Amino acid sequence: MALPIYASPLERIWHYSYLVICGLVFLFLIAPILIVIPLSFNAEPYFSLTPKMMALDPEGYSLRWYDTLLTLGHPTPDEARDSSWWSTVWERATWVQAAKNSFWVGLWATILATVLGTIAALGLSRPEMPYRRLIMALMISPMIVPIIIIAVGMSFFFAQACIDPDSAMGTIFGVFLSEKGCLANSHLGVIMAHAVLGIPFVIITVTATLSGFDQSLIRAAHSLGANPRTTFFKVIMPLILPGVISGALFAFVTSFDEVVAVLFIAGPDQQTIPRQMFNGIREAISPAILAVATILVVISVLLLTTVELLRRRSDRLRGVTGR
């Protein structure tokens, strides 16, 4: 915003102080995220910048907290790092296990939320859809209703949603459920919970993309002889794909960052990164958490870049210039 030429001295002062205020707010937004990066390289078990770090002395910095991520839960952390040592990391290290769990839960929750959400968004954006407003309100509500309420409800319901593990149904579905045959303490339970939390994001992004979608393209495809399947995969899908992908990324991040539902419905086998961090912050706060945090910041920068690039591509495809 340029200062108009007729601005009075007072307005000039105000204009520059306004810019300073904006700068401070940006600092407030971004500094807490960036500060974890130097702190994670701390050589001391402290949560603050040591004098050595301030003096940029290399001795003040180390990778020991990143190393902790590999050795925590490792039976022989100090032995020579040959291939068997690394395979033990892959099998046993606490943080690596948590990362694997987070990844798989996030992946399946994302697939579930994205497939169901995209199909539903196609229906919701048709003008003939009955009870559109009501259903839309229901689909968005997992984002609005406090997560603690959802988690409490799920912990009651999932503990009773059981099938006898010895019955015919139990032998088929048993692998997805806990040992007692319940949704509680099972991977499937966590995946379902995370999928329902990711659905609002998929619905919002895909319906937003569809709002700029020219419905006559569908009629054109039909008139040229395409069946509904061909129309969907050749005409609709390529155009809404950026929206679907950014919805999927939102859903993945929601699952990857979710801790409350996990605390209430998951068992010890479903240890995820956020749960491990949550417990770590509550109990003994060690800079190892900052090392994890730094890795997560890098991941979020990558995801944000992807989403921004997708959005620009989508705008270009739809002929929208600018934001």
Partner 1 sequence: MAEAATNLLTTADGRPLKAALAAAQARARRRAFLLVLPLLLFVVLTFLVPIGYMLKRSFEHDGFANSAPTLVNWFAQNKGFDPANPPEEAYAALVQDLARMQVEKTTGQAGTRINYSVPGTISLFKKGAREADTLTPPFKEALLAVDPEWGMPALWRGMESASHVYTPEFYLVAADRKLTDEGWARGDDGQRIYLYLFVKTFIVSAIITVLCLLLAFPVAHLLATLPMAKSSLLMILVLLPFWTSLLVRTTSWIALLQEQGIVNDLLVGIGLIGNDGRLSMMYNMTGTIVAMTHVLLPFMILPLYSVMKVIPPSYARAARSLGATSWTTFRRVYLPQTLPGIAAGSLLVFILAVGYYITPALVGGADGQLISNLISFHMSKSNWSLAAAIAGMLLVAILVLYWLYDRLVGIDRLKLG
| C-beta separation of 40 from 65 below 8 A | yes
**Binding to partner 1 by residue 47, rule CB under 8 A?**
yes
Stretch that binds partner 1, among 16-24, 57-65, 167-175, 218-226 (CB under 8 A): 16-24
Q: Show contacts with partner 1 in window 214-243 (CB under 8 A).
A: none
**Binding to partner 1 by residue 98, rule CB under 8 A?**
no
Give the contacts of 222 (CB within 8 A, at least 6 positions apart).
231
**Binding to partner 1 by residue 283, rule CB under 8 A?**
no
Which one among 162, 226, 303, 317 touches partner 1, defined by CB under 8 A? 303
Stretch that binds partner 1, among 62-70, 74-82, 130-138, 169-177 (CB under 8 A): 130-138
Residue 182, phi then psi, degrees to nearest 5 = -110, 160
| C-beta separation of 93 from 268 below 8 A | no
Tell me how far, at minimum, the Cβ of 117 lies from partner 1, in Å. Answer: 6
- Cβ nearer to partner 1, comparing 50 with 85: 50
Rounded to an integer, what distance in angstroms lies between the CA atom of residue 149 and that of residue 155? 10
Which one among 257, 267, 315, 318 touches partner 1, defined by CB under 8 A? 257
Stretch that binds partner 1, among 65-73, 82-90, 154-162, 168-176 (CB under 8 A): 154-162
- Cβ nearer to partner 1, comparing 83 with 321: 321
Which one among 117, 181, 198, 242 touches partner 1, defined by CB under 8 A? 117
**How does DSSP assign 17-78, residue by residue?**
HHHHHHHHHHHHHHHHHHTHHHHTTBSSS-SS--HHHHTT-GGGB-SHHHHHHHHTT-SSTT
Tell me how far, at minimum, the Cβ of 294 lies from partner 1, in Å. Answer: 8
Within a 10 A sphere around the Cβ of 144, how many other Cβ atoms?
Answer: 8
